[in-house]
Each structure stands twice: as structure tokens, then as C-alpha cells.
Structure 1
């Protein structure tokens, strides 16, 4: 049984001869670049700088050799631009604050603030305000909230929809090339097409945009899910409309080459509870998740993947009702998990 067949069988809830393994196919199943280097050393692999495949969390790339040794059953497809709005290309060496030499994209450009923290710039443009900060003793970046002042009566859905648009021919060509690269693979293909995460708090502040508008402050966004539900629904409704149309266009070129779509990484759990109650989730999020999941299940063979940190046991029934096939609840030490 190939890795692809193994995961397909598991997702059909059929008995398999082993547990499927995914490390590195998505931004929520990755491993820090420091640990990836340690794994390479442990397995006696060539000592070389590890590529930072996802710079926001400083996740390391699993090359084919390491993936084979670890028995990884997946291969991931990711958007052209990363969390800071620039492509992972034209690699260069970079010395991390913890003393590791890694490979980072050409536009991975940092400066230091007065406390010795690293500052990261959206699209690699130092003329724009920095959008993320890595404290001196940290191992990953934290978002810098860049909330512009606003008047309540002037808030519009369009401001928070600036980053969501219909897929361009250039982007379709990018996905076509990515799909061609994995043609014939015996691993399960996990794709993150982007644009389908509803209110993901890692994305709301838009660290990939130079001058984001709308509600970008984390506290304001969470308050909006209670105080401005009509506004949030309008954002989700339009975002879902765009997402479904984009999925249609991608499916036209990808077909059944994709096994799993990473649809959403919005966290609904804290260490001890949930960010919202079940009724709020079912009213505010579920209808839009269901529209995306329903289209996928009615028109493709793809399975859908939902990530959430925290204590989400009370919401699992609702995740199922929303149509998700896979739940990635990584915080197993949270209450009830």
C-alpha cells in the first residue's frame, strides 16, 4: 500500500496496516528549523543549512531524504507567497539569534530594534512599517499589530477583504506548475490554496500587507465576533463566495491530483475553554465553512482539513456538521483534549 493509498483509506475510516504520518505538509504540521537540523544530525544525514519553509514560525523544510527516513506519507503544496508576502525563492544564508545557519528567501530582510529583537517587513520592503517581531530570546516571530484609527460608522467589509480576490491567470499557472511537479507521486498531496480561512487570527493582522485597512487589531477582531456580527458575516459571506469560485478554477486544472485541502487554521480554543460558545460558532462560522466543504465534497474527491489549537472538544460536533473531514487539534494538553 502506497502512502497515498494509506491516507485515502484512513480518511474513508477503513482499517490500515499502519498510522499515516504527516510532518511538514502544512504550516500547522511543521517542525521548527532547529529541530529539523537536529533530526538530520540524529539520522546521520549530510550537515547543511536547512531551508526555512515558513518564516513566520521558522519552520524547517523536510527534504526527500529526511521525509523518507521518517516515513512521512504526505507532500505539501503551498501558495507562492509566504506569511510575509514574498515568495520562497533565491535562497541565502542567515544566522539566527540562536546561532543556527539556515537558508531563507531573498526578501527575508530584517533589522533590529533597540531591544535586540528582529523586525520583519511585509513583502521584504523596509520602506513599509515592520509587520512582525522576533524577541531576542525567541525562536519565531510575533505579529506587530498595525491598526489604523477608525470610526465605527465608517467600517466596511471591503476593508477586511482587501487580501481576498479572484485567482489570477498568473496564480493559476503557478498552481499548474506545482501540480505538475508532484505528478505520479505515491504520497498523499495536501494543498493550501489560501483564501479559505475565516477569521484566522494569524491572518487578520495581515503581516503580509504593507498598509492593511479595516479591523486588524487582535482584540478588536475578537470583540467584533460579538459586537459587530453583521459586519463579520458580510466579510465571511463575500470571502466564501470568492473562495468557492477560486476552488472551482483550481479544480479545473488540478482534478484528483489533490487528496487533502487545508481549508482553515482558525483557532477556536484557549488552554481552558473556547473563544466562542457552540451557538455562536454555529451561527457565525458554520454556514460559511459548510458552503466551502459542500462544494468540495459535491464536486471533487478532495478531503478537507481543519486546524485548531486549544480546548475545542465542545465544538467538535459542529466541525463535523460543517463538513470537515480532518481535525488537527495539536494542543493535546488543553482542557478536555
Structure 2
């Protein structure tokens, strides 16, 4: 974290909500390792498993553990319509397609400024104190009784993703350009909710965590969803406020997750207070390790870097060479946490997962000859 060569590279699997596994992937890995299945895999409402089986984490020698997650207010539009169909706390209807939860309605599509005044927003103070206290106790136990690196998963969604889900991607991207008064008013409402949740969440957990996270995808495979200027003018100030508020309660490092090609705004994320960038998606344009590490590696910790779209689908024997090549670039002078660039999917072979982490542990040890070759 201090940009010095570590004795051992930090390995993350499930230490934050975007470096986890899909349910079938975890089941397949348990079978591969010869561990009996326990209860039916518990999925979150975004498809990933709620927590990775501890036997997997111990076998792979994973350094991180996570606590918390998106908090659910009791006063909101949330309603389970069936086991595969629900309305979330923001009024967004979602259906499970067999692997992921798809947003199937966008309640503010075509909305105007006045519609924001009458919309039934979730009420932050209705979040259960018992829920927060349970998370605090879990974090405190891990902090006091283990050597794991503890992440408090983000308790709220991001302003941009909520705008896209509420209005629909097409409508909201247009609004970012021609209805900026609407966007700012929407973001003000979301930020007010975020800050109330942050106050309660981090005042309880802040002393028992090493890092925390936020997630909001600003990039596509080829570029940003918006111009860098629009990001700086409209989105960045809200993130800076959110991060500053979080850091009033904790000395934990702040990780931000954004898929895609985000190289053009990494400096802005650093200025907003981001300490760790996830996932450094190598298959996205301009996000290759050999480009990102020299440009930003002395100012921000890089997290991820192991490609999940193509790289892990090589022959398992080639994965060791690939992981070594990433470590050679990313871990030089420290400032790197190794993880997959997103949640491990159901079609990835368990053998490849094991190869990845065993290679990471082997080549992630401090070795002067290795780094000076």
C-alpha cells in the first residue's frame, strides 16, 4: 500500500464485492477440491455469492475478507414479487435470468425535474441499527482475532449507475449532456441518502477495517460512457464529497471499482480521494498493465489486473506464465493487489482458478534476484 516491495503479494478473492465468484463457479471449485457441498449457494441480488466458502479462501491462501454490503432501508419500495423477481429499494424492477439480475423497468425514464420531488425515495434512517451492529461485530472479530485484510463493502450504490438504472442508459446519457439540471438534482438526492448511510455505517465500522469500496462503471470496453469533461464537471464532485465524508470516520484505504477503459480519468479519481483502483481490466482499451503501471503506479494502488474475458481461458499450463508476467509489471515497487478483473464466472474451469492463485503465491514472494533480472 505504501509503494514499497512487499515480502508477499496480497491476494484477493471476495475481499470486495467485485472480486468474488458466481454461484456455479464456487460449486465447481468446491467439487474440484473435493470439498462436500453445504447449503445451497446463497446468491446476492446481483448474482455473485454472498460470501465465498472459507475452505476455498484457506486453500488458496487468500489474504482478504469482506464484511457488510448494500444496506436495505425498511422504508422503501423494496418488494419481492417472487424468488426470481423483485423491485429494489429505488423502485427498479429486476428479474433473474438464470445467471444475473436484469433491470427490466426504469421508473424515471423521461422524467422531468418536478417528478423528482414526488418520487418515493428510500429513507436512510430506516436502515436497521441491528444490521449495522451485526456488521460491526463481524468486522471487530476479524480485526482483533485474525491477520486478514478486511474490506467493508460499499453500503450504497453510485450516482452514475443509479441514474442509468432509474432513467435507462439511453435516456440518462442524453440527460448528462442536455438536461444537466435534472442530473444535478437527482445526484443531490442520491448524495443526501449516501451521506446519511455513510455516517451510520463508517462511524460503526471505521476502526475495524483496512479498506472500503465504491462501485460505479464509468467505462465501456473502448472508452468512457461520457467525455472526461462531463465526468469532471458533473460526476467527480459527488464522488469527492462521498469519499471525503467516508474518510472522516476511518483511516481505511478507499477502493473504487470501475470496469472498462477509464485511463483518461484515473488522475481525476486520484484527486477525488481514491487510493486503490479496481479492476485494471486488461482487455479494455488502454488498460494494459504495461501502460497503466508506469503512468499511475506510484500514486494509486492497482487492484486486479488478471483478465477474466480471455486471459484465464488459456490452457491452464499457460496461466502460470501469464500470471507471472502480470506480477513482473504490476508488483514492481509494490502498490499492487492481485485479483481477477471481475467476479469469476460459471464457465471458468476450477483448474484455471487454482493455477492462477498458486502462481500468484509463488511469484508474489519478495525475491531480489527475480526483480533485478
The separation in 1 between residues aligned to 2:161 and 2:92, in whole angstroms, is 22
Equivalence for 2:99: 139
1:42 and 1:35 mapped to 2: Cα distance?
Answer: 11
User: Distance between the aligned counterparts of 1:74 and 1:165, measured in 2?
Assistant: 29
Q: Which has the higher contact order (CA 8 A, sep 6+)?
A: 2
TM-score normalised by structure 1 residue count: 0.71
How far apart, in 2, do the equivalents of 1:302 and 1:71 lie?
A: 23
TM alignment of 1:224-235, pairs within 5 A: 224-235=175-186
Q: Structure 2 vs 1, CA of residues 251 and 148 (structure 1 numbering), >3 Å: closer, same or farther?
A: closer
Kept after mapping to 1: 8 A contact 2:191/2:242: yes
Q: Does 1:59 align with 2:49?
A: yes
Q: Secondary structure at the match of 2:21?
A: coil
Moved over 4 A (4+): 148-151
Cα distance in 1 for partners of 2:59, 2:81 equals: 30
Cα contact 1:131–1:146 (8 A) shared by 2: no
Are 2:127 and 1:165 equivalent residues in the alignment?
no
The answer on 1:293 being equivalent to 2:243 is yes
CA distance in 2, matches of 1:43, 1:271: 34
Deviations 1:122-163 (A, max 9, x none): 37xxxx9962240xxx5323221243675535332663x813
Query: Is residue 2:150 matched to residue 1:189?
Result: yes
Q: Comparing both structures, which one devotes a greater share of its residues to helix?
A: 2
Q: Report the number of matched residues.
A: 279
RMSD over equivalenced CA pairs, Å: 3.2
1:52–1:59 Cα contact (<8 Å) kept: yes
Specify every segment of 5 or more residues in structure 2 that has no aligned partner in the other structure, as ranges. 288-373
Q: Secondary structure at the match of 2:229?
A: helix
* Contact 2:70-2:155 at 8 Å conserved across structures: no
Q: Structure 2 CA distance, aligned partners of 1:54 and 1:240?
A: 24
The 1:27/1:193 distance shift into structure 2, 3 A limit, reads: closer
Q: 5 Å matches for 1:113-262? A: 119-122=84-87, 131-134=94-97, 139-147=99-107, 152=112, 154-156=114-116, 159=119, 162-163=121-122, 165-166=124-125, 169-184=129-144, 185-195=146-156, 197-200=158-161, 204-205=164-165, 215-262=166-213
Cα displacement string for residues 296-318 of structure 1 (whole angstroms, at most 9, x for unaligned residues) = 34552111111111111111111
